[in-house]
Structure 1
């Protein structure tokens, strides 16, 4: 269980903006969320810290990266980036930093930061760190994803998930930081392969 004080983390990150922090926590706590919730937010922030991501723009990117979640991959991240632009501009963040936060949010669409983008690499890896968690935690994350897709028939879910697993298993590199590869890559591949085999056995 993640034990991360999100309210304290926000106050430390952007002092003087409690209303914005409350809005973001409310978004992450929406009742339809099962995976993209405050537990994922806290875990991603912890993973970012493990990767050395102390910069404010990187932490803000994690706070905003799934702030909009309506089950539309890609569109949700783009809307989240736009939300970051709007809210952070209103909060008085420097325009350069606001643009950088939005850019980093968009990195999480495809998790393919360009070479020479260490901030993007850290944000991407922090978002995907769950893939390298222990098997029980990984299985719980998959179950949470399935719970979010309540209206999806089982056969459609299975096909969609198998396609996603094939994509992740052929992505090179899956993790873009040396620390991410060292900590999570071996276990991530084992988790992905185990889930893939389980789905294939169920067909």
Structure 2
């Protein structure tokens, strides 16, 4: 099953990239369908485990799938939905292992590092400034929770959760950089898609692959 969903995700991702400039409606449908493969992987794990954490991960992935579309129509709305998805991931990781002092320290390190990376661009964010700061806080805490819950979980599940969270962070930082620097190279966009789809699939499939 995992190979089939991975292949279908890749095909829909390629279709999105090819259609983005020519047929926006179909492109957005393909973008959401690609993420739906991560939702499918998450559903498979949740049905197998029958635990609340698994269903929270599914909920987070569904919100990411919705945000994929909304983000390209109304950025602030998409950011809000993605943030809500991360809150679902945080709740799932919390159930696996409650936060520790290390969680807070890692969160602060991530938050300060990202703010530092974009320190010269903050002034130009205008109406996106508050949503960006709030989203970064939620994303940073999600990553720190993935690490401090994934580490004691161990095995493939723990490794996949941590890797997925960090790939999400990398993807979102690249999106932010592309936005503030107005980068339009196709290669940059392809890297973004690879990072994002890898992130959601790793999180979705962590409990069973």
Same fold? TM cut 0.5: no
TM-score, structure 1 as length reference? 0.28
TM-score, structure 2 as length reference? 0.28
Structure with higher helix content:
2
Q: Give the number of the structure with larger relative contact order, counting CA–CA contacts within 8 Å between residues 6 or more apart.
A: 2
